[in-house]
């Protein structure tokens, strides 16, 4: 039986060869071309927007821990968490104490810079918060605590307003001089007037 294309795309009718007059080779070739044309019309639609997307296994990513299920690569997988720095004990810091204090205290480098340098030089890893805690325990913390600054302001204002015949007093905290500009900034931030004695409240020590 020969398949003959109809006017309706995708449909063919069966023709019994005995019921049809013999065709020449050119007619048979023409019929085959029409069949291929209709077949191509079925497989390849001229309007891509009407095609349904075909998802093949090559376009999928397998998740090993999800029972073999497949997900599209367009779906963003969660990023792995950054490895947490190990918690270091006091004895772990001793081999690097001198170098850390030299960089931070003597060369006045930031703790973040010191942390990176120590990690490159010795392979010693610790979190920045651990560095701050350790340097504070070594008594080399550069930050002036609120209670310390409150005491400085109280003495400074008394010397300035009561003992005004004496020269201005200088202050040091853990071996470092506290600059007058830093004291002024702290007073402005806490709205402390320059022309009044300062009696710090308990909140100033927090």
d(CA 117, CA 45): 64
3-state SS record for 24-47: CHHHHHHHHHHHHHHHHHHHCCCC
Question: 172: exposed, middle or buried (C-beta count within 10 Å: 0-12, 13-18, 19+)?
Answer: exposed
b/e per residue 75-105 (b: at least 16 CB within 10 A): eeeeeeeeeeeeebeeeebeebeeebbebbb
| Prediction pTM value | 0.47
- Quick one: pLDDT band at residue 42, thresholds 50, 70, 90? very low
Q: What are 75-130's pLDDT values in tens digits?
A: 566 676 767 778 899 999 999 999 999 999 889 899 999 999 999 999 999 999 99
Using DSSP, state whether 176 is helix, strand or coil.
Answer: strand
Place of tokens 């003495």: 155
């Amino acid at each position: 039986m020969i398949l003959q294309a109809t006017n309706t795309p995708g449909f063919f009718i069966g023709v019994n060869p005995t019921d049809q007059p013999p065709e020449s080779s050119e007619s048979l070739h023409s019929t085959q071309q029409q069949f291929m044309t209709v077949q191509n019309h079925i497989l390849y639609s001229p309007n891509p927007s009407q095609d349904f997307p075909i998802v093949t296994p090559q376009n999928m990513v397998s998740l090993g821990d999800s029972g073999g299920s497949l997900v599209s690569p367009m779906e963003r997988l969660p990023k792995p968490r950054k490895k947490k720095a190990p918690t270091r004990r006091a004895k772990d810091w001793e081999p690097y104490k001198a170098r850390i204090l030299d960089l931070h205290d003597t060369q006045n480098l930031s703790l973040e810079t010191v942390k990176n340098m120590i990690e490159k030089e010795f392979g010693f890893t610790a979190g920045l918060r651990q560095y701050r805690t350790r340097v504070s325990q070594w008594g080399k913390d550069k930050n002036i605590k609120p209670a310390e600054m409150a005491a400085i302001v109280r003495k400074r204002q008394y010397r300035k307003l009561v003992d005004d015949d004496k020269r201005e007093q200088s202050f040091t905290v853990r071996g470092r001089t506290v600059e007058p500009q830093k004291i002024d900034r702290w007073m402005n931030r806490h709205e402390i007037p320059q022309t009044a004695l300062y009696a710090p409240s308990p909140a100033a020590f927090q």
